[in-house]
Structure formats: C-alpha cells, structure tokens
Amino acid sequence: MITVVIPTIGRSSLAATLTALGPGLPVIVVDDRPAGTAAEPLRVAGHIRVLRSGGRGPAAARNTGWRATKTPWVAFLDDDVVPRPGWEKALRADLADLSGEVGGSQGRIEVPLQPDRRPTDAERNTAALADAGWITADMAYRRVTLERTGGFDERFPRAYREDADLALRMMQAGYRLVRGERVTRHPIRDDGPWASVRLQRGNADDALMRRLHGPTWRAAIGGAPGRLRGHALTTGLGALALALVTAATRPRWVAALAGTVWALLTAEFAWARIAPGPRTKEEIRRMAIATVLIPPVACAYRLRGELRVRR
C-alpha cells in the first residue's frame, strides 16, 4: 500500500530515521550527493533500496524516489526526522479510508524544546514546522496525484518552498489535503552561528513562488507576511548613508538622517529576534551580527531569484 521515500545528502541523522521505521514498509533512500562524489556509500539495511539523483536538490531526489515506486501511496520523510513508535500503524490508519478526492495526508510534527528556558532564534525556526502546512518532513501523497501534477518542481533547488508549491498545485487540481494522526519528531540541530543568514537563500525561491502562483501565494499556504520590504528599505538607507559618507561632497544632514533611520530599523529588527529568546550574551551577539547582514543578503537573493525566473 505504501512506500517510504527519503532523500538524503548523507547526514548522520539518517540512521535514526531508518531505525525508527523498522522493516515493515518498503523504503527507498535517494542519495542526492553530487555525482562522482568520493563519499562512502550509504550504510543502510539490506532491505532498503538506494537510488542516486546526482545532487540536483531534494525536489529532484523525491521525484527519483516516487517514480521508482509501484504502491498506491508514497510517504515522504526527511533524513533528519524520527517517526514516533507506532508511526507505521498510524500511517496506515491515516490513509486507509480516505476518499479519492483526498490527494495527500500530512503527519503531525513534534519539535522538542528545552523546558527550562526560552528557545533561541534557530530553535524557534525549527519549532515553526509544527504548525507549517504540507511540509515533506512527513507527507504522504497518492502516487496517481503525483503523476497527474508532475511531482515536485525541480526548479526549486533547496529544501524550501518545493513542498508548498506541490501542495498548491494539488489543490488547484481539485484534490484535498488532510492532516493525519501519526506523529513524527523533528529534533533541533545546530547549524552554526550563520544559519539565519544562510536561510535568506530562500528569498530566491519566493520569487519563483510569486511567478508561479501570483502575489497571494503566501496567504494561500497560510504563511505569515515576510519582511522583504522592510529589508529593502533598511538596505537602501544603509547604502545611501555609506555612499554619502564616502562621497567627496555630501550633504551631511542627509547622511546622518539615513544612517539614523537605518540604525533604528536595524535595532527594531534585532529586538524582534532577541526579545523572544533566552537573551544570553552569546545569543545576543549572534543576533546582533546576523541582523546587520540579513537585510542586504535577503535583497540580493531576491534580486537573483527575480532575474532567474525572468530568464
């Protein structure tokens, strides 16, 4: 009835994902490390099928996986989640009596947080997955609906927005998407102090979402309004202040005004990120540095995305 497909780039967390599944379901692991990589083969149990997708991103890896299946349902998991005990039985129950108009079923995501302190900015980003819609951390689709919609759009190169894009196309094709009762745990991993800056690459994918689904795409997936306009204003004022300061002739009051407003906007953004957190010295230091970098980086990636979709 069901095949599980897991794209991976060889992270060590894959072992815990596969151990939690057990031998009850057929599993396809799609190795998405670049073709010709010198990395060792994935260490998986003998009953697990391993395919290669050539390092083209998770959308292409999932397509490689589901197209190799023959079961009516394909359940997608990420390689950094851990299905809870009883997940297989709950998955079968979630899918057993669904009507034909239901194209997909989402699992419930559980993100463990430290009970004795406020979550950090990075932890809050991961915790938001618990309320996100149609994410492939645990998402099952009918194979026939994947065939009819073409599966994941491989123009999304990252693990970002490719799942929301597919969900919107499923609903536009007339299918309903529902939430099941199975539970999958999504541990929080430390991606380093620059994780929030690297996340700004997703602004390029937002440009593709707007081109494909129109200006209301964010509301359609239940997403919160972004801060790109504020980032653009902050970046513009910062660039103006810097240009005037370094110019041979300049109106000092304009440079001072631009610099002051830039500082106020940056401080507001920093406090919005720092206030909900633990407010430790290390967290404040990380947030202060990243907050200065995020607006120009976000704008640069959005511009890059806009140019790409126009080509």
pLDDT tens-digit series, residues 60-85: 999 999 999 999 999 999 999 999 99
The domain made up of 2-190 has a fold known as Spore Coat Polysaccharide Biosynthesis Protein SpsA; Chain A (3.90.550)
Residue 247 has pLDDT above 80, yes or no: no
Asked if pLDDT for residue 119 goes beyond 90, the answer is yes
Please state which of the ranges 31-40, 95-104, 166-175, 299-308 shows the lowest mean pLDDT: 31-40
Do 166 and 221 contact (CB within 8 A), yes or no?
Answer: no
- What predicted TM-score, i.e. pTM, was given to this entire model? 0.92
Confidence tier at 3 by pLDDT (50, 70, 90): very high
| CA 75 to chain centroid | 17
Domain range list for the chain: 2-190, 192-311
Gap between the Cα atoms of 170 and 134, Å rounded: 11
pLDDT at 311 over 90: no
* Adjacent-strand bridge partners of 183: 108
Task: Identify the pLDDT of residue 259.
Answer: 94
The reported pLDDT for the residue numbered 246 is 80
4, 95 contact by CB (below 8 A): no
Name the CA radius of gyration of the chain, rounded: 22
Mean pLDDT across the chain: 93
215 burial type by CB count under 10 A (0-12 exposed, 13-18 middle, 19+ buried):
exposed
Q: What is the DSSP letter of 288?
A: H
Tell me the percentage of the chain whose pLDDT exceeds 70: 99
Judge contact between 122 and 195, C-beta under 8 A: yes
User: How many other β-carbons are positioned within 10 Å of the β-carbon of residue 253?
Assistant: 9
What pLDDT shows up at residue 250? 66
Residues 103-113, mean pLDDT to the nearest whole number: 96
CB neighbour list of residue 146: distance below 8 Å, 6 or more residues apart: 66, 74
Can you read off the two tokens belonging to residue 31?
């190795």
| The pLDDT of residue 192 | 86
pLDDT band per the 50, 70, 90 thresholds, residue 249: low
Contacts of 39 (CB under 8 A, 6+ apart): 10, 33
Helices then strands, counting H and E runs in the chain, come out as 12, 8
In angstroms, the CA 60 to CA 248 distance is 52
With 80 as the cut, is the pLDDT of residue 187 above it? yes
Cα separation, 30 vs 28, in Å, equals: 6
pLDDT tens for each residue of 286-300: 999 999 999 999 999
Can you tell me the mean pLDDT for 183-197? 91
**CB neighbours of 246 closer than 8 A, spacing ≥ 6?**
none
**Per-residue confidence band for 38, with pLDDT thresholds at 50, 70 and 90:** low
Question: Which range among 76-80, 177-181, 192-196, 249-253 shows the weakest confidence by mean pLDDT?
Answer: 249-253
